[in-house]
Amino acid sequence: MVVEDVDQAFTFVAGGGTYSGFVQNRVVLAVDGTYDFLWRIHDTSFSGVQPFDIRAFRIGLFGASVVGLNANYLTDGLGEVGPDAARVLAEPRQNYVNFLFGSNLSAGQDSYFFFLDTTATSYGFTGIYDFVGSGSPDISGVYSTFAPLASVPEPATWGMFLAGFGMLGGTMRRRMRRTVRFA
């Protein structure tokens, strides 16, 4: 079930002109009660003297590690170009992923929805994304997107945490009661 669907305009100035369009940011509540995050680039255009393409869509500050998540794209809906790969950055940036378009996303083309299937049970508008152009180093400005929120520990976890501190405090107190007597 789609719970959020926001279209966001973008403008990317590089390569002798301006590449613009929209990013559709979507959050879906899956049947298992977790949230999936989807993006689609559409209604793209270029004005200028030397056209360039989008080579990568980069997501950052995703709120959770993307290592091990299912990253893919949907071919049963809108769009005509999907990313060829999703690359996760190394530590400490394992909450960043680059969706790479092998043949690039040219002006006038729309991407398929591409997604990250997560185990998140809450989300916010706390992530970021940007674009990498076909020229080097053409990198766009940064835009906001939906992302998982950090999970809150379960009550049982808090109970174990507090019990552990209590035992540690009791042990330290017992050790402090010892007195030294001099003859």
Q: Is residue 126 part of a domain?
A: yes
Q: Is residue 145 part of a domain?
A: yes
Q: Is residue 159 part of a domain?
A: no
Q: What is the CATH number of the domain that holds 106?
A: 2.60.40
As a whole number, mean pLDDT of residues 59-68 equals 83
> Is the pLDDT higher at 2 or at 171?
2
Count structural domains, the chain.
1
| DSSP line for 85-136 | EEEEPPTT-TT-EEEEEEEEE-TT--BPEEEEEEEES-EEEEEEEEEEESST
- Between CA 147 and CA 64 the distance in angstroms is 8
Location of structure tokens 């360039």? 52
**Model pLDDT for residues 24-42, shown as the tens digit of each residue:** 999 999 999 999 999 999 9
Q: Is residue 160 part of a domain?
A: no
Percent residues over pLDDT 90 in the chain? 55
CB contact burial 83-120 (16+ within 10 A = b; e otherwise)? beebebeeeeeebbbbbbbeeebbbebbbbbbbbbbeb
Q: Is residue 67 part of a domain?
A: yes
| Domain range for 8 | 2-152
Q: Is residue 131 part of a domain?
A: yes
Q: Is residue 12 part of a domain?
A: yes
Q: Is residue 147 part of a domain?
A: yes
- Could you check whether the bond before residue 148 is cis, i.e. omega within 30 degrees of 0? no
Q: What is the mean pLDDT of the chain?
A: 85
